[in-house]
Structure 1
Amino acid sequence: MKEEMSELTHSASVVISVCNEDKTIGQVLQELEKLPISQIVVVLNGCTDQSFQVARRSSKAMVIHYPDRIGHDVGRAAGTKLTNTDIVLYMDGDIVISASELMPFLIAVDQGVDVALNDISAWVPPFYRQDSVTRCKSFLNRVLNRDDLQANSLTAVPHALSRRAIQMVGVTSLIVPPKAQALAIMKGLKVACVHRVDVVNHNRVRARNIGLDNDVTQLIMGDHIEALSAVMEMTGTRLQLPNESRSQLAKRRNLI
């Protein structure tokens, strides 16, 4: 493992968003400190627990504290502005992921990938059992001619970006992850699923993400609408989909 950790040829950093995660942030940072990185930017948003005190124990961590909740995506964008490395890895503070499971994301970008996604396909149910968020992710990738990405998205951590990707899509676009992904694909950047980490079954249950029509679902759905709007501005309202009549579409479907 030590040999693998020394293989990066480009500089790397980590941005980690935290909201009341003092039970896990210490272990998360311990794993991150094993990686060949030069910066750890911890963005605390609206923390009312001991997350600040725990994060300060890390000698590598630069801790940024927002007293009000700004959201994980805004936090990641804010943290990105403080990085100056060639590679930026993105994490949340509520799931402890081993350094060995994080390293593939760094290696992928080090070797030329611009957007390294977490491949959660193994934990995504069949279409008829999928929720609206999962279907939105797949649809966005489809209209971008990237069916190979399936439902994988920048909405899921861990993921990593190259400095080129950050500069080309803009730090502000990271506030809306699906939009950043769409822009990256439209601008010809190399986007790929590079490793599988199960964050589906280990995602922390909160009041805001329980139920079919919860706040998090509404936020992510809105983000995808914004992403689709950006694609329409660049490609037209058809979203690169074939201009078929209803009869033509029905005929094609019947042949499947």
Structure 2
Amino acid sequence: MAYRLIRNSRWERLALSAGGLSGRRRGASKKEASMAFGQWLASSGIPQRQLYHVLPGVAESFRRGYARGSRQSIPAPLLPPLKGRASVIVFACNEAGSIPMVLRELKRLPFHEIIVVENGSHDHTYSAARAFEGVTVIHIPERLGHDVARALGAKMSTGDIVLFMDGDMPVPAEKLSSYLLAADRGVDVALNDIMPLLPEFSRQDEVTRCKTFLNRMLGRDDLMANSLTAIPHAMTRQALESIGYANLSVPPRAQTLAIRQGLRIEAVQTVDVLSVNRRRKTNRGKDNPVAKLIIGDHIEALGETMKDLGGRLQWGQVSRAELSLRRNSL
């Protein structure tokens, strides 16, 4: 899968040139290219707030430049060497048609382990996943749901970084690289930045507003509607153990705990999971079961936090006029 570059991107142009120079000077292997890219990235001057968003483009540009300079084929994607081991958890239920595409993209990345938690399927999801060498499949006859499968998979994994994926949404390996690199470089919780995909606040649905409200009430206005309810996302082992594996089964609760514990949480890359989300009876229409479940999870997370911190949380004792101003600024 060829990654589409951004026309006239300054960072991509610089990466292409740097890759060409490195390719002429260094060995013609992916390992050498990866090391060279990591060294260039460290001195590139790309602002930290942009780094993970622009990573797919600059990595592909550097790879193309390196291949030209070395006159050798360098497989994509290019990712700087990771300090820790990376695991990926894929939750799947009746995904026989899509799980091969998901796993093909994951196999392009240097994962220490790929774990598929296949639960409640009535099709050939199990055999489709088992067909891939090196993939561990946890088969559970009963349907657990994505969130419980997430918690189980995380508990079973052994990597220093854990990426979470859905079995029905193939994501280009180039974009997944951003989550791995962010977690490897100290981001405890690397979220999918869905904000560029959303309409203005007045046209957002209730679920999106619940996500924004929870973040704002916990003092993380900067996260807006970005949440652990959206895949893909990655977490460090330290974050998983700090939050507690069982709490992953309720994503808003896990996010609340991560914020309250002062973990480093950033939205690092945008993957469109909204337009490609498979439409089912349970996630269609107003007040559908999935929406009700997510809203209920947010209410639960807020209620538990209010028991500890009080009804106003981080808003403190302010006047009704100030509360109105803050509410209207959402």
- The bucket for the TM-score relative to the shorter chain is over 0.9
Note if contact 1:33-1:60 (Cα within 8 Å) is conserved in structure 2: no
* Equivalent of residue 313 in structure 2, options 239, 249, 256: 239
Equivalent position amino acid for 1:231 in 2: T
Tell me the SS of whatever aligns to 2:314: coil
The separation in 2 between residues aligned to 1:250 and 1:107, in whole angstroms, is: 40
Flag as ranges the 4+ runs of structure 1 deviating above 3 A.
247-254
- Summarize deviations over 1:139-191 as a string: whole Å, max 9, x none: 00001111110100000000000001001000000000111011011001100
Note if contact 1:6-1:36 (Cα within 8 Å) is conserved in structure 2: no
Q: Does 1:197 align with 2:271?
A: yes
Q: Percent identity?
A: 52
| Equivalence for 2:47 | none
The separation in 1 between residues aligned to 2:220 and 2:235, in whole angstroms, is: 18
Give the superposition deviation at 1:243: 2.2
| Equivalence for 2:246 | 172
**Alpha carbons of 1:250 and 1:135: their partners in 2 closer, same or farther (altered >3 Å)?**
closer
| Equivalence for 1:42 | 116
- Indicate the structure with greater helix content: 2
Which structure is richer in relative contact order (CA contacts within 8 A, separation 6 or more)? 1
| Equivalence for 2:157 | 83
Note if contact 1:76-1:175 (Cα within 8 Å) is conserved in structure 2: yes
Q: Does 1:227 align with 2:301?
A: yes
The separation in 2 between residues aligned to 1:51 and 1:69, in whole angstroms, is: 13
The separation in 2 between residues aligned to 1:168 and 1:156, in whole angstroms, is: 20
The separation in 2 between residues aligned to 1:189 and 1:252, in whole angstroms, is: 25
Question: What is the TM-score of this pair, normalised by structure 1?
Answer: 0.95
Give the superposition deviation at 1:5: 3.0
The separation in 2 between residues aligned to 1:119 and 1:177, in whole angstroms, is: 16
Highest CA radius of gyration, 1 or 2?
Answer: 2
Unaligned residue ranges in structure 1 (runs of 5+): none
| Equivalence for 1:132 | 206
Note if contact 1:155-1:177 (Cα within 8 Å) is conserved in structure 2: yes
| Equivalence for 1:206 | 280
Give the superposition deviation at 1:242: 3.4
| Equivalence for 2:21 | none
Q: Does 1:162 align with 2:236?
A: yes
* Equivalent of residue 5 in structure 1, options 73, 79, 103: 79
Equivalent position amino acid for 2:79 in 1: M
- Summarize deviations over 1:106-127 as a string: whole Å, max 9, x none: 0000000000000010111111
The separation in 1 between residues aligned to 2:210 and 2:135, in whole angstroms, is: 35
Equivalent position amino acid for 1:193 in 2: A
Mean Cα displacement is larger for which, 241-250 or 138-147?
Answer: 241-250
Number of residues of Structure 1 aligned to a counterpart in Structure 2: 255
| Equivalence for 1:116 | 190
- Summarize deviations over 1:200-229 as a string: whole Å, max 9, x none: 111111110001111100110111011112
Matches within 5 A, 1:35-114: 35-114=109-188
Equivalent position amino acid for 2:302 in 1: L
Tell me the SS of whatever aligns to 2:315: coil
The separation in 2 between residues aligned to 1:130 and 1:5, in whole angstroms, is: 35
The separation in 2 between residues aligned to 1:126 and 1:48, in whole angstroms, is: 39
Note if contact 1:15-1:79 (Cα within 8 Å) is conserved in structure 2: yes
Tell me the SS of whatever aligns to 2:156: coil
**Cα RMSD for the two superposed structures:** 1.8
Give the superposition deviation at 1:102: 0.3
Give the superposition deviation at 1:249: 4.3
The separation in 2 between residues aligned to 1:92 and 1:7, in whole angstroms, is: 25
The separation in 2 between residues aligned to 1:79 and 1:252, in whole angstroms, is: 39
Equivalent position amino acid for 1:140 in 2: L
Matches within 5 A, 1:23-38: 23-38=97-112
Unaligned residue ranges in structure 2 (runs of 5+): 4-29, 35-77
| Equivalence for 2:259 | 185
The separation in 1 between residues aligned to 2:175 and 2:327, in whole angstroms, is: 41
